Structure 1
């Protein structure tokens, strides 16, 4: 993805986002997502998954007929073929049966696969790749034996052959075709789309009409209730509903790396500088909304232990793979940390955050929702977390996931 094409996409993405008005005033495709527009998908082979589905549907008053029971096994991954047959097929049938109002949201229960694998290579290609890898290992072994014989004609022949093998293997490489289950299901209503790398999200507010390859109304909000034990998930559901009834209260914390008034240090990549500015803009939008008091840290380190009391909203970076527990979370808190591993996302939820988001695997920076867009949509009255996420997500059929109740309206009151 670090190709010219990828960099051009990055530039277009950042430019379109940076031109959005302050505060963000546009909404994704539709608004007012409701329980009657929601399907709950559970693994029928896991009693805990079914029990969680029943609990969530009762608490959210989702019609019982909107439960989709799938046979997805117990693995972390699912093949592309099994995904289409065992998950996508039942979901599409349930959407067709639901009638009016049309389904706009899927909530996945804990116990479902996380990753949809790439389609298998053709048998002939697999065999050729195995033979090339085997020959490559043999050539390397022989070259090691001849490493002191620099003038050896045999060594030069072997070096030439090694280059040929490596070039053949390079030509056989494919773009990443695996993706998060949630990200694939967001495109459930689209019969066909390319699997090599990401797909631009038509429901993304920065896409513009010219960049929409299909109607935003055909893209589904998808999130997962998982990541912590079932009983903890039930408590999280209850705390989320409590916050929704009472209105989210607390403090919004934003952790940038450089002051907004000063350019990023020399040598800092422009994309990092833009995302850092986006964190500052997110803080500005929340402050101007009057929803919550705002605290901004613009030092290079992340917030440290004990610094974030009554945390209701949070966005920061980077501290890759190293979570720093600086927070005292209030019920219904929404936390988003920009990093390429799942470390912060998992820890944020384990410590009590109601909703978080992040990557299943390396997504590349431009795939993250820009903070000012996500939080700009979130503080609009009536929007759900799921709508704010979908409207701020640049790409689908990719690696980003939303964890928590997508029907949650932190500022519904």
Structure 2
């Protein structure tokens, strides 16, 4: 069955063009160790000419002020663009220069280029704030603090306003950037806790493009009320649905806290979650590592507040744990002005590059968003079944081909159940169980998870499938059974650090029971 599924070929995938190497400029900091080495490595990987590598004398720090940004980064870089004719600029009606043509469409900032602009805006007036509760919000919205990369998108404009965000003309676009007539540059960043991590991010992106990105999706929904959250949770629900419709098995957590400490995740290719300030849950487990080429995003206001400490915030820790790419925020963006993750996920699945997908998902520029990873990375260029085949991806490729071959959901599930029984493969069985768990038939899901526990040989995989059964008990209100299962798991897997996940869930259920007495 598996061989037949992988042999099935579908030619319906979209084909996108790619930026030419001479449309990409790589920016590094002459004063930061390894910044030039990383720039040269990226140029070699992507065949970008040495003439497209630009070094500037920049402060060797993550955060700069507005004067430093203007005098040491923006103005010198704009002059280079003028001198090398990487754009055409004319005087606009207001006498300021404006773009009339772009040769270069993408700037790639390397580790060492500052990532944040901090501006000490007007101080709060407590008396005024007490009279007008919206005053503080308006002040935050008109901040001049921003991500360097988001400001560089407006490099071609002469002295644009710096207070607050500006509309992004590429938002919700479906046009590849080389065909888009928009007056902004795309700006991405290869940055992280160490030069070695940055090198690995680049290498992983190029390697994964040859095979395609395959694996489990993990979506951690905060389960907020509609009043608390009119948009965030729906983004995550849509992303999970879109992944399933492409054939990816998706583990969805809907409990209000994030996934518990040391939860034993499956081979994770995509992670979308919220909302903790600092890295938590499965990602503090030293044994955890994402699949090569993984896209991992945790939505938080300050997820990219720093990129050096792998134990703080979210972007740096996710990259340190093996992700090839993520997005984040340098300062408070407000939910509606951050990356719309449903759009980002959809554009990636459509075959766009990381930087195109992320920019299409961002409603504003001159704001807080940053895109980390090889901007030219196309993780889903092989959803049609093409690409180099690797043994670790065989089950996931089969699930994708089954989605294409049998559009009828019931038929596909029957065929996959036959395959899972015949193959005696834990990954296939668990993937099918996750599908049935999404409102299809919880009893079938439990049976399949029991089978998967038996089929897996690794104790961490066995524990996960036990926890997924307990998750179904909790969702169905069978709390006594859930607590019994958690106690059994704690006894059976007492030597595993991942047992902490069972303890967290048990503590939560017992605390809930105490509060309701």
Shift of 1:47: 3.9
1:296 corresponds, among 236, 252, 257, to 252
- Higher mean displacement: 329-338 or 297-306: 297-306
* 3-state secondary structure, aligned to 1:42: strand
- Alpha-carbon separation, structure 2, partners of 1:321 and 1:47: 27
Partner of 2:73: 87
Distance 1:37 1:113 in 2: 23
1:256 equivalent to 2:221? Answer yes
Task: Compute the displacement of 1:223 (Å).
Answer: 1.5
- 1:219 equivalenced with 2:184 (yes/no): yes
Shift of 1:163: 6.2
Indicate the SS of the match to 1:325. helix
Distance 1:98 1:63 in 2: 16
- Structure 1 residue 363 and structure 2 residue 333: aligned? yes
Instruction: Report 1 or 2 for greater relative contact order, CA contacts < 8 Å, sequence distance ≥ 6.
Output: 1
Deviation at 1:242, TM superposition (A): 0.9
Instruction: Report what 2:456 is aligned to.
Output: none
Partner of 1:67: 53
Residue in structure 2 matched with residue 145 of structure 1 by the alignment: none
Shift in Å at residue 274 of structure 1? Answer: 2.4
TM-score, normalising length: structure 1: 0.72
1:38 CA displacement: 0.9
CA distance in 2, matches of 1:113, 1:36: 24
Instruction: Give the Cα–Cα distance (whole angstroms) in 1 for the partners of residues 20 and 252 of structure 2.
Output: 34
Correspondence 1:377 to 2:340: no
Q: Supply the distance in 2 between the matched residues of 1:82 and 1:120 (Cα, whole angstroms).
A: 16
- Give 1:369 deviation, angstroms: 1.5
One of 32, 42, 50 as aligned partner of 1:56? 42
SS at match of 1:224: strand
Give the equivalent residue in structure 2 for 1:407: 376
Q: Given the alignment of the two structures, is residue 78 of structure 1 paired with residue 64 of structure 2, yes or no?
A: yes
Distance 1:70 1:104 in 2: 19
Give how far 1:99 is off: 4.7
Contact 1:81/1:119, CA 8 A, preserved across alignment: no
Provide the C-alpha distance between the structure 1 equivalents of 2:44 and 2:118, rounded to a whole number of angstroms.
Answer: 33
Contact 1:31/1:387 (<8 A) preserved = no
Structure 1: segments with no counterpart, 5+ residues: 1-25, 122-128, 137-161, 208-214, 259-263
Q: Distance in 1 between matches of 2:76 and 2:64?
A: 15
- Residues 1:111 and 2:112 aligned together: yes
- The match for 2:363 among 389, 394, 410 is 394
Select the residue among 336, 343, 349 that pairs with 2:319: 349
| Contact residue 212 and residue 380 of structure 2 kept, 8 A | yes
Asked if the contact 1:253/1:314 (under 8 Å) is kept, the reply is yes
CA distance, structure 2, for counterparts of residue 115 and residue 371 of structure 1: 22
Structure 1 counterpart SS, 2:290: strand
Deviation at 1:338, TM superposition (A): 0.9
Is the 1:95–1:102 Cα contact (8 Å) retained in structure 2?
Answer: no
In 2 relative to 1, CA 206–34 (structure 1 residues): closer, same or farther, beyond 3 Å?
closer
Alpha-carbon distance between aligned partners in 2 of 1:206 and 1:249, rounded to the nearest angstrom: 26
CA distance in 2, matches of 1:198, 1:78: 19
Change (3 A) 1:223 1:302: same
Relative to 1, partners in 2 of residues 1:34 and 1:332: Cα closer, same or farther, differing over 3 Å? farther
Give the structure 2 partner of residue 316 of structure 1.
273
Structure 2 unaligned residues grouped into runs of 5+: 1-13, 88-101, 175-179, 304-312, 383-517
Q: What is the Cα deviation at residue 225 of structure 1?
A: 1.3
Cα deviation, residue 375, structure 1: 0.3
- CA distances 1:87-143 after superposition (whole Å, capped 9, x unpaired): 22333244342659811111111111122244999xxxxxxx9xxx9xx9xxxxxxx
Structure-to-structure mapping, 1:92-171, within 5 angstroms? 92-96=78-82, 97=84, 99=86, 102-118=103-119
CA deviation map 1:308-344 (0-9, x unaligned) = 2211111111123342235541111001111122212
Shift of 1:286: 2.0
| Larger displacement relative to structure 2 (393-402 or 32-41) | 32-41
Q: 1:368 to 1:45 in 2, by over 3 A?
A: same
